[in-house]
């Protein structure tokens, strides 16, 4: 989302992941590489992938830690 200067503000990935799991949906780590993590967002049933996020943000890496999914 652009701010007043026209620059894009990075999304708060931790907030997105928290909201996702609090709503009963599932997130899963798809990959970890060189200080980055890629997470898939899945339907409440754990079935179809709805979206995917990649982040190197330290807060995201701490939030996910060594978990493989929101079900861990």
Q: What's the rounded Cα separation, in Å, for the pair 34 and 48?
A: 27
Write out the two tokens for 67: 């978990």
Predicted pLDDT at 45: 82
Q: What is the pTM of this model?
A: 0.81
Summarised one tens digit per residue, pLDDT across range 13-65 is 999 999 999 999 999 999 999 899 999 999 988 789 999 999 999 999 999 99
Predicted pLDDT at 47: 86
The CATH number assigned to the domain with range 13-64 reads 3.30.160
41 C-beta neighbours (distance < 10 Å), count: 18
Q: What percent of the chain has pLDDT over 90?
A: 74
**Contact at 8 Å (CB) between 69 and 20?**
no
- Domain residue spans of the chain: 13-64
């Amino acid at each position: 989302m652009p701010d007043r200067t026209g620059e894009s503000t990075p999304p708060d990935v931790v907030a997105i992941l928290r909201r996702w799991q609090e709503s009963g949906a599932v997130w899963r780590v798809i990959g970890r590489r060189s200080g980055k993590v890629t997470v898939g967002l899945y339907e409440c049933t754990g079935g179809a992938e709805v979206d995917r996020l990649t982040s190197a943000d330290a807060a995201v890496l701490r939030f996910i830690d060594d978990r493989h999914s929101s079900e861990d």
